[in-house]
């Protein structure tokens, strides 16, 4: 369920009053890094707003600064957004509008609203003034239109060195809004652009480029984050004075911040370099690629983002809220199979050693369409170490103990009779007996078991590596340095078993009965299955200790 938000209110009003007959949104990433969960709000909201009101949604790369950008990121971003199932109607590049932007800059010059400035970067900074005092006008501010036009053309033609001149808008050096103090709109910067190669040596600045990009595409509602609120007067100024026929409206909302996560590029790079995480797609990171690898379904992210809405306030959302949307989505979507992560062998002494049988077991009782499988059972099975305690500790204990009878789900009741330990005193083998009368599906109800536990038939079990992830950061005090907050034990690798004869598609999500949701990792091979724990099942079981 989506929270109502102020942007929907604006859109609905614009549609009602006839200001727009159709809306158009866009997501404008700069291809200078990878997307993370924080971006999901902007991507998904722009997408669903366009869908909900029958409009269009563009993916537009805001590639106006080649020294920071790379085609590699273009591909990564496209892959991530496609994975998120936010289908763009058009794929555009700001760099395709360079010619148009250049012309619009000339419109400004012709109107006496832009000038070429020869001040050095230091001087420009100096002339800009500061937060509390007004700036000073550049001595080049009153060059003639002709001179400006000629100089600007020469800038484009490469007559000047990088940084030697800039084109600035002529607005107001005394404005309390620093963005209005004659902002730079073009800089000279010779660098290879992933799209336009070496065609240009001047590149437009964001404040100038962005409104023009939006206007060219006929974007009606241009959503961005709060820090651009101060830029809105400039945005409107450029749309107006460059005489764009289409007038987009910039609307700011609060970024989606997730508490206690590493998202900074430098920080992640350090974690990767230090070997703390295994890469940019490590399941402990909230990069979209990390979430994908962890097995998070894209629709769970949609539901999460919709539940959060589109507020103007900026809070920090706890990641465990996403967990609930993951479980909620996978609850009916995932097949449920048996796996044992920390196995103990159980020998069923009254079951013939050479016998083995198949028991009909549905994959998901809440979604019959998922079908069933023939679950294998024999005289030796594995159960979870946690599911056995020699002495039943209290009445609440709903698992196996000596002399206690539990049901192996989908199979039979078993009663533990004897335990064998290894040299270090750990339970090695449990000897049990089963009661053939209690076969699942037989309708047996003469007595109740002390609980229901899951198992894997040892004879057909498939070994599997299971990776358990916990929070990357344990310490929530963000005033401490990152390295002191890192949880050194955020990843645990277990060698367990999953039931045999399950066909497993790459990246398929499963519920491992009573354990949680897991998905097959890319590292899986023909002979070695690897699973990531996406999220554990909830548990109201309070363990002592």
Applying CB under 7 A, among 192, 245, 273, 313 the residue interacting with RNA is 313
Applying CB under 7 A, among 13, 157, 320, 420 the residue interacting with RNA is 320
Q: Which is nearer to RNA, 167 or 464 (CB)?
A: 167
For residues 240-269, which are near RNA according to CB under 7 A? 254, 259
Is position 318 an interface residue for RNA (rule: CB under 7 A)?
A: yes
Count the site residues for RNA by CB under 7 A.
Answer: 92
Please check whether residue 163 is in contact with residue 188, taking contact to mean a CB–CB distance below 8 angstroms. Answer: yes
The residues pairing with 357 across neighbouring beta strands, listed in sequence order, are: 377
C-alpha to C-alpha distance for 249 and 233, rounded to whole angstroms: 11
Applying CB under 7 A, among 54, 139, 315, 371 the residue interacting with RNA is 315
For residues 332-391, which are near RNA according to CB under 7 A? 336, 364-366
Q: Which is nearer to RNA, 24 or 453 (CB)?
A: 453
Q: How many CB atoms lie within 10 A of CB 181?
A: 22
Applying CB under 7 A, among 331, 345, 385, 494 the residue interacting with RNA is 331
Is position 16 an interface residue for RNA (rule: CB under 7 A)?
A: no
Candidates 11-19, 51-59, 318-326, 484-492: pick the segment binding RNA (CB under 7 A). 318-326
**Tokens linked to 358:** 């198949």
Q: Which is nearer to RNA, 526 or 540 (CB)?
A: 540
Applying CB under 7 A, among 229, 437, 475, 522 the residue interacting with RNA is 229
Is position 328 an interface residue for RNA (rule: CB under 7 A)?
A: yes
260: left (phi over 0), alpha (psi -120 to 50) or beta: left
Is position 418 an interface residue for RNA (rule: CB under 7 A)?
A: no
Q: Which is nearer to RNA, 27 or 282 (CB)?
A: 27
**Phi and psi of 297, rounded to 5°?**
-75, 135
DSSP labels, 387-425: GB-SS--STT--SB-BT-EEEETTS-EEEEEEEEE-TTS
Please check whether residue 362 is in contact with residue 372, taking contact to mean a CB–CB distance below 8 angstroms. Answer: yes
Give the three-state DSSP class for 294.
helix
C-alpha to C-alpha distance for 536 and 516, rounded to whole angstroms: 4
Is position 187 an interface residue for RNA (rule: CB under 7 A)?
A: yes
Candidates 75-83, 147-155, 177-185, 477-485: pick the segment binding RNA (CB under 7 A). 177-185
| Nearest distance from C-beta of residue 51 to RNA, angstroms | 19
C-alpha to C-alpha distance for 19 and 64, rounded to whole angstroms: 31
Candidates 12-20, 185-193, 455-463, 482-490: pick the segment binding RNA (CB under 7 A). 185-193
Applying CB under 7 A, among 124, 272, 299, 427 the residue interacting with RNA is 124
Is position 30 an interface residue for RNA (rule: CB under 7 A)?
A: yes
Q: Which is nearer to RNA, 194 or 278 (CB)?
A: 194
Taking residues 289 to 308 in sequence order and writing x for each that binds RNA by CB under 7 A, - otherwise, the string is ------------------xx
Give the three-state DSSP class for 178.
helix
For residues 486-515, which are near RNA according to CB under 7 A? 511, 513-514
Please check whether residue 163 is in contact with residue 125, taking contact to mean a CB–CB distance below 8 angstroms. Answer: no
For residues 54-113, which are near RNA according to CB under 7 A? 62, 64-65, 68
Candidates 77-85, 115-123, 457-465, 518-526: pick the segment binding RNA (CB under 7 A). 115-123
Q: Which is nearer to RNA, 137 or 278 (CB)?
A: 137
For residues 435-494, which are near RNA according to CB under 7 A? 440-441, 451-454
Query: If we measure between CA atoms, which residue out of 452, 416, 449 comes closest to residue 433?
Result: 416
**Tokens linked to 500:** 């045999």
Encode 498-516: b = buried (16+ Cβ within 10 Å), e = exposed. Answer: bbeebebeeeebbbbbbbb
Encode 423-450: b = buried (16+ Cβ within 10 Å), e = exposed. Answer: eeeeeeebebbbbeebbbeeeeeeeebb
Applying CB under 7 A, among 11, 34, 169, 188 the residue interacting with RNA is 188
C-alpha to C-alpha distance for 507 and 6, rounded to whole angstroms: 37
Is position 178 an interface residue for RNA (rule: CB under 7 A)?
A: yes
Based on C-alpha coordinates, what's the Rg of the chain?
31
DSSP state of 220: S
**Tokens linked to 51:** 């869908």
User: Cβ contacts of residue 16 below 8 Å, gap of 6+?
Assistant: none
**Tokens linked to 318:** 């706890």
| Nearest distance from C-beta of residue 299 to RNA, angstroms | 15
Q: Which is nearer to RNA, 279 or 315 (CB)?
A: 315
Q: Which is nearer to RNA, 252 or 521 (CB)?
A: 252
Q: Which is nearer to RNA, 60 or 485 (CB)?
A: 60
| Nearest distance from C-beta of residue 55 to RNA, angstroms | 20
DSSP state of 447: S
User: Cβ contacts of residue 285 below 8 Å, gap of 6+?
Assistant: 36, 261, 262, 268, 271, 277, 472
Q: Which is nearer to RNA, 45 or 277 (CB)?
A: 45
| Nearest distance from C-beta of residue 117 to RNA, angstroms | 8
Q: Within the chain, how many helices (H) and strands (E) appear? A: 13, 27
Is position 402 an interface residue for RNA (rule: CB under 7 A)?
A: no
| Nearest distance from C-beta of residue 362 to RNA, angstroms | 9
Candidates 98-106, 235-243, 310-318, 479-487: pick the segment binding RNA (CB under 7 A). 310-318
Dihedral sign, Cα of residue 143, residue 147, residue 153, residue 154: negative
């Amino acid at each position: 369920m989506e929270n109502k938000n102020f942007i929907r209110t604006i859109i609905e009003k614009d549609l009602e009053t006839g200001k727009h007959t159709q809306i158009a949104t866009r997501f404008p990433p700069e291809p200078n890094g990878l997307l993370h969960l924080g971006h999901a709000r902007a991507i998904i909201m722009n997408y669903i707003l366009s869908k909900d009101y029958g409009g269009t949604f563009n993916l537009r790369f805001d590639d106006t600064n080649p020294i920071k950008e790379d085609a590699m990121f273009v591909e990564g971003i496209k892959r991530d957004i496609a994975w998120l199932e936010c289908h763009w109607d058009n794929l555009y590049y700001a760099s395709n509008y360079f010619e148009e932007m250049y012309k619009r800059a000339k419109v400004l010059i012709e109107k006496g609203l832009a000038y070429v400035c020869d001040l050095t970067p230091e001087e420009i900074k100096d002339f800009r003034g500061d937060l509390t005092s007004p700036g000073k006008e550049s001595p080049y501010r009153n060059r003639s239109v002709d001179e400006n036009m000629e100089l600007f053309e020469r800038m484009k033609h490469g007559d000047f060195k990088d940084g030697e001149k800039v084109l600035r808008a002529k607005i107001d050096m005394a404005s309390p809004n620093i963005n209005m103090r004659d902002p730079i709109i073009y800089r000279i910067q010779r660098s290879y652009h992933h799209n336009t190669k070496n065609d240009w040596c001047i590149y437009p600045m964001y404040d100038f480029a962005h409104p023009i990009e939006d206007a060219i595409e006929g974007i009606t509602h241009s959503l961005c984050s709060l820090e651009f609120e101060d830029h809105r007067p400039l945005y409107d100024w450029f749309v107006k004075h460059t005489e764009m026929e289409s007038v987009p409206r910039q609307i700011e909302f609060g970024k989606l911040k997730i508490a206690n996560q590493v998202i900074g590029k430098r920080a992640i790079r350090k974690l990767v370099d230090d070997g703390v995480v295994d890469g940019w797609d490590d399941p402990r990171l909230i990069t979209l690629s990390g979430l994908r690898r962890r097995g998070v379904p894209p629709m769970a992210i949609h539901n999460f983002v919709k539940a959060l809405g589109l507020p103007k306030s900026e809070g920090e959302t706890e990641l465990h809220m996403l967990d609930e949307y993951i479980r909620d989505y996978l609850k009916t979507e995932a097949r449920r199979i048996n796996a044992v992560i920390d196995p103990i062998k159980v020998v069923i002494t009254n079951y013939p050693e050479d016998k083995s049988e198949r028991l009909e077991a549905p994959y998901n009782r809440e979604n019959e369409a998922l079908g069933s499988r023939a679950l294998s059972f024999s005289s030796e099975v594995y159960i979870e170490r946690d599911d056995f305690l020699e002495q039943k500790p209290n009445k609440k204990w709903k698992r196996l103990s000596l002399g206690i009878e539990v049901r192996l789900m989908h199979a039979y009741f078993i009663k533990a009779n004897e335990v064998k330990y290894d040299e270090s005193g750990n339970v090695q083998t449990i000897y049990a007996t089963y009661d053939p009368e209690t076969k699942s599906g037989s309708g047996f109800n003469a007595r109740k078991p002390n609980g229901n536990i899951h198992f894997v038939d040892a004879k057909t079990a498939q070994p599997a590596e299971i990776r358990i992830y916990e929070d990357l950061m344990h310490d929530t005090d963000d005033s401490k340095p990152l390295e002191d907050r890192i949880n050194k034990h955020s990843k645990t690798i277990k060698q367990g078993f999953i039931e045999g004869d399950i066909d497993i598609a790459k990246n398929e999500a499963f519920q491992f009965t009573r354990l949680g949701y897991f998905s097959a990792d890319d590292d899986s091979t023909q002979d070695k299955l690897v699973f990531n724990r996406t999220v554990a099942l909830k548990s109201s079981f309070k363990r002592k200790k």
